Chains A and B, each alone.
Chain A
Amino acid sequence: MTLTLRSRVSKLRDVPGSVLVASLIIIIICFAAVAAQFISPFNPMEQDLLAVSLKPTSSHWLGSDELGRDVFSRLIAGSRGAIIGPFLIAFSGLVVSAILGIFAGYRGGSIDNLIMRGVDFIVALPGLLLTIVVVSVTHGGYWMALLVLGVLNVQGDIRIVRGVSLEQRKLPYIEALRVVGVPRWRIMYKHIVPNIYPILIANFATDFAGALVALSGLSFLGLGSQPGTPDWGRMLSDGQPSLFTNYWAALSPGITIVLLAVSVNLIGDWVYDFYSKKSLQR
């Protein structure tokens, strides 16, 4: 009779197949990120000029790139950056939007105005252009890209969270808590947060996927990660010239990016549906 995910999903067959597959993909990628040194068959940085642009073989599972580096090992090495960056962006979005969004929605008035005008300011910025300019001018690389994308990303989250908090605020249970004398901060973070949880999860998932694609895009343009580092976006651009001769080198990072982004979204969607359905069935 509880609302926790764990108790509800006691049987795996209650979970749709697509979500199971998506979870498996994410688990595999996370495992690769953690255990990169131990599982990669080759050193991802090592160039073997005698084995350039190989097709997949029994030793080079996904072939090798133009400089003779093992594509599979580079994919594994790149998974770390592909997970950490988007995670940080999505997580900061979650935290900041939970704090500012709920604050704006619940308190209203001038505080709401202040926060939302700040949000409007960010919305008015041309996002991708700004990122490209800032990252290239500061030579900030990967971490600067994270910071700029993180700041740009947070506006959407704040708006959504503010909207749902406004909705919660009007509900009798919140009013009853006010009348009983529960302090404001406690209402916001002990009562509103758990009740808008599905939205936060869904936001996290879309942010993650968006950030993954944006970061890969920056790397593809040669910004973000340093040349030579095993990064999925950079592998994609490195492999692009030989797309038709050695397509494995370009396709495999592309496919992994899509797989990861779709998997995260699928899981986010499912968690959201799951909780919303529960709250509908009162």
Chain B
Amino acid sequence: MADVLNLELNSSEPLLKVSGLTVRHLGAEHERTIFSNVDLSVARGETIGIVGESGSGKSMLTKAIMRMLPPYMAHEGRIELDGQEITNLSLRKVHQLRGDQMTLLFQDPFTMLNPVLSAGEHILEALRANKKFRKEISKQESKKIVLERLSEVGIHDAAVAGRFPFQLSGGMRQRIALATALARNPKLLIADEPSTALDNTTQAEILALLKNVQQSRQMGLILVTHDLRVAFSVCDRIYVLYAGSILEVGPSVELEKAPLHPYTHGLLLSEPPIDRRIEVLTSIPGSVPSFDNVLGKCAFAPRCNWQTQVCLDSTPQLRNVGERHVSSCLRLQEIKSELIVDRTGRKTADSPFVNLSTQSALPSITPVLRIQSLKKTFINSQNRKVEAVQNVSLEIAPGECVALVGESGSGKTTLGRCIVGLEVPTSGSIELDGLEATNYNSISRESRAALRKKAQIVFQDPYSSLDPRQTVADCLSEVMQVNGEGKDSRNSRIDALLKHVGLPESYRVRLPESLSGGERQRVAIARALAVEPKLIICDEAVSALDVSVQAQILSLLRKIQKEMGISLLFITHDLAVVRQIADRAYVMKNGLVVESGLVDDVLSRPQNEFTQKLLSSVPSSASQLAEKDQTLLLKKDKDK
């Protein structure tokens, strides 16, 4: 373990030094280990990333460092902040450290701020926690300080200080939260998924801001994220956390170019590239286990392609594999070359379905979906009209996958909900496979039932899209029952459906709570397939999933589209996903389609300014940019 501790940038005392940290969840029934034996260090002015999928224990790690673990969690090990040991410091003393020495920035900008305090009051509140400040600083001065803090996070409009959270956008709130966290000049900032809940363009701004503030203050920064791309764009060094163990630590440049652990490698490959379509999407089979399930062996072994008996015999230790680079893989020397082959040998798929491009080219086919100048107006709580969708026309041919891209508030979800009758459009028309589907409420029961068999929807959040009290089989069976299917055929079709979405038959009796996010999403897809629709609307269907699982679901959707000829309307904000799955794309902004066309055209040669902005805000590090340029050059050569 001593190797890890030697990783600091300079030989001087690190700002934060964590050694042998273990956190356990205490419980009456059984104790669970969240993570174990974690060593970590942050030098002054250094940015480290903690990367891990959900369930890896990364959030608990930050809470343990901040000494903010809930009472039913116990920690052991050693945490030193700026030379002072804080592992077992009394909570009162820790409280004084928080804000002054270290501070935490949370993910959700919508719940992180107190709704009854204005932006300025938030910052003031943080300042006032310091006794000295309360005594010595006058009201006038404190106002000035608040404005200073705001301008540091890029808010130069003094009026913002008087606004309340609900009057601010997500990005603005995150800025306010950052200003609040930085109010008392802490030496260490821990940011827990600070950009995940934000739109791509805002995300890029917040990340740039974080990096900026960190550099100008020479502060230590720990960025916790599930997104390797985000980590690469900001961090100096990256810790890869998986099922409660650190698997690899290394400089982010090296980690990106040549990861030396199969998990990091798999994670990198699962991240779909934005610039080309991969023929066979790589994913890591299965899902993240809990620490106790992989006790006594390599945590990643059950999902690893290179697993052998050695990996199952003992818990591997981190070992030096390069300068300031450690990995826990036992078989690294043997498989190193295979990792490289695996990384470079991926085939790029041809641009899909060029001949199916537009409706005008094939006038004889009835489109699965035809939307004409659709409008949807909401009345908001202040009794003002909000035009969520203004005048959108869209068509989907049979067997085609069309992406609807846009940021939150662009109206893309509303459009999807109108198609399946969850919203009634204000004006315009929707036709599903030749049937009128504009207003589900105004048509007869029979025609409504017919429409249900045309279009189905899969939602974003796999945790709330299944009835928690219904087994998988009951869920699928009910769908078929209400569509008038007999008991025998239902039974046999449940098996077929499960097989189709890649779940074993034994899952029939499972309840959602015992399924992972990816498995739940498979069940949700099976439920949609149960009515044999012509079109499935995927409303951010893979956005809430871990990267390694995301690719599994994308491959499944590709397979469904290809083998069953079902059209997909893929609603998403993620351009890389669009590249992997869609044939055509529509880009929406403020309820209007600003650009549409073949995916290749939209993503490689965007015409609209907004599309260009979206594309440029996808987090990418320097080397990725270079690669992008190269492929563009290659393409140009080909064109010539």
Interface band, chain A: 20 to 34
Is A176's CB under 8 angstroms from B457's CB? yes
Complex CA gap A279/B74 in Å reads 24
B456 contact set on A, CB distance < 8 A:
179-180
Is A182's CB under 8 angstroms from B457's CB? no
* B318 in contact (CB, < 8 A): no
* A129 in contact (CB, < 8 A): no
A279 contact set on B, CB distance < 8 A:
468
- CB 8 Å contact bits of B427-460 with A (1 = contact, 0 = none): 0000000000000000000001100100111011
- Name the distance in Å between A11's Cβ and chain B's nearest Cβ: 9
Is A179's CB under 8 angstroms from B452's CB? yes
Complex CA gap A2/B474 in Å reads 14
* A17 in contact (CB, < 8 A): no
- Name the distance in Å between B631's Cβ and chain A's nearest Cβ: 38
Is B29's CB under 8 angstroms from A176's CB? no
* B465 in contact (CB, < 8 A): yes
Complex CA gap A186/B457 in Å reads 20
B218 contact set on A, CB distance < 8 A:
none
The answer, among A177, A178, A282, for a CB contact under 8 Å with B513, is A282
A172 contact set on B, CB distance < 8 A:
459-461, 464-465
Complex CA gap A165/B461 in Å reads 20
B422 contact set on A, CB distance < 8 A:
175, 178-179
CB-CB nearest in chain B for A190: B478
Is A181's CB under 8 angstroms from B482's CB? yes
Q: A14-B29, A181-B483 known; A1 and B514 CB under 8 Å? A: yes
Complex CA gap A175/B416 in Å reads 13
The B contact surface, by secondary structure, is: loop
- Name the distance in Å between B478's Cβ and chain A's nearest Cβ: 7
Complex CA gap A66/B612 in Å reads 94
Task: Enumerate A1-21 residues with CB–CB distance to B below 8 Å.
Answer: 1-3, 14
Is B464's CB under 8 angstroms from A179's CB? no
Complex CA gap A3/B463 in Å reads 16
The answer, among A2, A177, A178, A180, for a CB contact under 8 Å with B511, is A2
A176 contact set on B, CB distance < 8 A:
457, 459, 465, 524, 527
Is A3's CB under 8 angstroms from B531's CB? no
The answer, among B421, B465, B482, for a CB contact under 8 Å with A182, is B482
B510 contact set on A, CB distance < 8 A:
1
- Name the distance in Å between A208's Cβ and chain B's nearest Cβ: 24
Complex CA gap A182/B470 in Å reads 14
Task: Enumerate A172-201 residues with CB–CB distance to B below 8 Å.
Answer: 172-173, 175-183, 186, 190-191, 194-195
- Name the distance in Å between A169's Cβ and chain B's nearest Cβ: 11
A186 contact set on B, CB distance < 8 A:
482
* B469 in contact (CB, < 8 A): yes
* A125 in contact (CB, < 8 A): no
Is A179's CB under 8 angstroms from B511's CB? no
- Name the distance in Å between A272's Cβ and chain B's nearest Cβ: 16
CB-CB nearest in chain A for B456: A179
Is B511's CB under 8 angstroms from A1's CB? yes
* A171 in contact (CB, < 8 A): yes
Is B461's CB under 8 angstroms from A181's CB? no
Task: Enumerate B461-491 residues with CB–CB distance to A below 8 Å.
Answer: 461, 463-470, 478-479, 482-483
In the A-B complex, the 8 residue pairs with the smallest Cβ-Cβ separation, listed nearest first, are: A181-B452, A172-B459, A172-B465, A194-B469, A1-B514, A179-B420, A180-B479, A171-B464
